[in-house]
Structure 1
Amino acid sequence: MMDKASSIKKVFISTHPFGEISSKPLDLLEAQGISYGLNPYGRKITTSELATQIKDCDALIAGTEIIDSSVFENAPNLKLISRVGIGLDGIDFDLAKMHDVKIAFTPDAPTLAVAELCIGLMFDCLRMITATDRHLREGKWHRHMGGLLYGKTVGIIGMGRIGKTLAHLLQPFNVKIMANDIEPDMAFGHMMGIEWVDKRTLLENSDVISLNVPLTKSTYHLVDDKAIEKMKPTAILINTARGPIVDESALVDALQQGMIAGAAVDVFENEPYDGPLNQCETVVLTCHMGASTKESRQRMELEATDEIIRYNSNEKLKNEVLF
């Protein structure tokens, strides 16, 4: 382990935007006498840019960027990475342990926003709202014949915070919920009337499938061509989790061939996205905006900043990632 001074004097804030909805997170740092640097690029920072910016910093308030050996090696004073959001797949935990860097995140703050976006995307796909808007702007008056969410079977893969919140939000629509999780919460499932099933059963029987799992080695390309072949031709796939969970080329082929009715994709293997999904008529695309509500963003920024202050006050971190 590296011997580091305990106090945090300077923080680099790589996530963008930060402090725009409310200046309170920055005010809290200033009140603690902690200086900070903001992402100067006005976009998602690259790993090489981060490695340059972080050189003299003791802590990092991070977004979804990749934090690899170049970052750790260029930040000898780094003590804490406080992630704005829930996904941790961009952080190399082995390197963090080697360099004696603690990691915290804000798992609760984005939950409701992501779950609400899932619901919105379900309605969009079922009623073809985006497609109709696009056609109308092109001068085409065509009333698409959509379908109801009410009474459908919704399959949720991943029943963590977001999956459970999504299940709550779906209750008024009288849907049948099938769920799959590596550690099913049987008590929650019983309370909510959820049927726990294997992935094959879920894929074969769901009208709408929502992916709400973290990106890990076991979930990489969890939905590939073989998984899509098991889905109903009338099914809709919703991905607000992480891009690489879905094999994008397989999804493009499925949409172009009409193997499934449609999809909504908020996250991509490479972001910003510019690829063949743009040419698919039956997909709704959004820009990794699951947590992008004013309420959630402000809470995430505050919670990430609070972890910096807790560390500086020798207090226990609220949401430390143990590894």
Structure 2
Amino acid sequence: MTEQRKVLVTQRFFDPESLAYLKANGCEVCIASLADGQGDGDLSEDRLAELLAEADGWIVGHAWINAALLARLPRLQVIARRGVGYERVDVDAVQAAGKVATIAVGGNDASVADHAIAMMLALGRLGEAKARMVRGDWAISLGRDLYGKTVGVVGIGRIGRGVVKRLAGFDAQVLAYSPQPDWSYGRESGVRYVDLNTLLAESDYVTLHAPLQDDTRLLIDDVALSRMKPTAFLINTARGGLVDDRALLQALRDGVIAGAGLDVFLSETDPLYRATTDALLALPNVVATPHSGASTHEGLQRTNLIAAQCVVAVLNGDTPPAPCVIADGRGHFSTEE
């Protein structure tokens, strides 16, 4: 009988179907016990090394993965992110260690696109209405339609295109910014590619769907915010590092823009911004969620299963779907004596 492979899951909400898939493919699964409010990104290197000591596969959320940790895990073969961002994964270190790292491409695109639209509607129509009603203030306040508005989409990958599809139902005019425009997609979808400054100046809603990398870090700063309409809204369901939160806080206080919908914050990776996050949350023109745009029952089931399939593929000596692979170091080591 083939020896069972051991897989550690350090994420909550790992559904029974994905668990059954791993077990049916000869995997013994351990789901790490995390304290309330704790994520795997909060675990120390020592604790991760302890949990993963006998693991062949790891389904991970937001833990930092670097050369020092990998050096302590000679048995580990595959690291599967239940998500698509991988700025916390040192892909060069994974490659050098002879391991495989994957992401769950396509699993949560629809969930995040839905969330971005929900934030647009909430900013324009809901705001703090319920809080006012609880206080006994039932006075009618005027909202703003999404219908017929101009929406600027920064980053036009899978999620950005999902947002574009949903905006068609609102008869919105869509502007897009991308360093590498796909002109054929623009013609087919009716999206107009423009430079970032034009997008900021003309949009009623600006929604961010770009990856976090050197050329996008703090892309939306005080200068960028000053280019937006005073009636415009900013939505960020991508990565906190795309926006200078201190500049955003000042812009919202000064009426430079009308409001913001935020699912991600700089304080997630930099504790020095915690006070800024708290101040943003206190503003009546901010709609906020705790980095949960991808976290629906359906979205997590999809990403869980993709991560599980990637783990099984690697443990079977196969290759996961190419879009999911961010590092594959299995051919890194020389076979020479």
Instruction: Tell me what 2:243 maps to.
Output: 246
Q: Is the 8 A contact 2:92 2:327 kept in 1?
A: no
Residue matched to 2:39: 44
- SS of equivalent to 2:326: coil
Q: Which runs of 4+ in 1 moved over 6 A?
A: none
What residue number does 2:334 align with?
Answer: none
Q: Is 1:165 equivalent to 2:155 in the alignment? A: no
1:158 and 1:213 in contact (8 A); partners too: yes
Q: Is 1:28 the equivalent of 2:21? A: yes
* Contact 2:4/2:26 (<8 A) preserved: no
SS state at 2:79 partner = strand
Identity %: 34
**CA distances 1:2-32 after superposition (whole Å, capped 9, x unpaired):** xxxxx9821111122222xxx1221222223
- The match for 1:217 is 214
Q: Which residue of 2 aligns with 1:297?
A: 300
Q: 1:54–1:71: 8 Å Cα contact kept in structure 2?
A: no
Segment drifting more, 219-228 vs 142-151 = 142-151
The letter for the 2-side match of 1:121 is M
AA partner of residue 39 (structure 2): K
Matches within 5 A, 1:158-237: 158-237=155-234
Where do residues 94-113 of structure 1 align in structure 2 (5 Å cutoff)?
94-113=92-111
**Structure of greater relative contact order (alpha carbons < 8 Å, 6+ residues apart):** 2
Determine whether 1:57 maps to 2:44.
Answer: no
Q: Does the CA-based 8 Å contact 2:80-2:307 persist in structure 1?
A: yes
Identify the residue that residue 312 of structure 1 maps to in structure 2: 315
* Corresponding residue SS for 1:275: helix
User: What is the alpha-carbon distance in structure 2 between the residues aligned to residue 289 and residue 269 of structure 1?
Assistant: 15
CA distance in 1, matches of 2:141, 2:49: 50
- Structure 1 CA distance, aligned partners of 2:145 and 2:291? 26
Match of 2:326 in 1: 321
Alpha-carbon offset, residue 52 of structure 1: 3.2
Q: How big is the shift at 1:266?
A: 0.5
Aligned match of 2:115: 117
| Inter-partner Cα distance in structure 2 for 1:179 and 1:276 | 30
Count of matched residue pairs: 313
* 2:333 equivalent in structure 1: none
Determine if contact 2:91/2:326 at 8 Å carries over to the other structure. Answer: no
Q: TM-score, normalised by structure 1?
A: 0.92
- Give the TM-score, by structure 2 length: 0.88
CA distance, structure 2, for counterparts of residue 97 and residue 315 of structure 1: 17
Q: Deviations over 1:57-99 (max 9, x none)?
A: 2221011232233421321222111111111111111211121
Structure 1: give runs of 5+ residues left out of the alignment: 1-6
CA contact (8 A) 1:16 1:63 kept: no
Greater displacement, 152-161 / 83-92: 83-92
Distance in 2, Cα, partners of 1:68 & 1:107? 22
Shift of residue 322, structure 1, vs aligned partner: 4.7
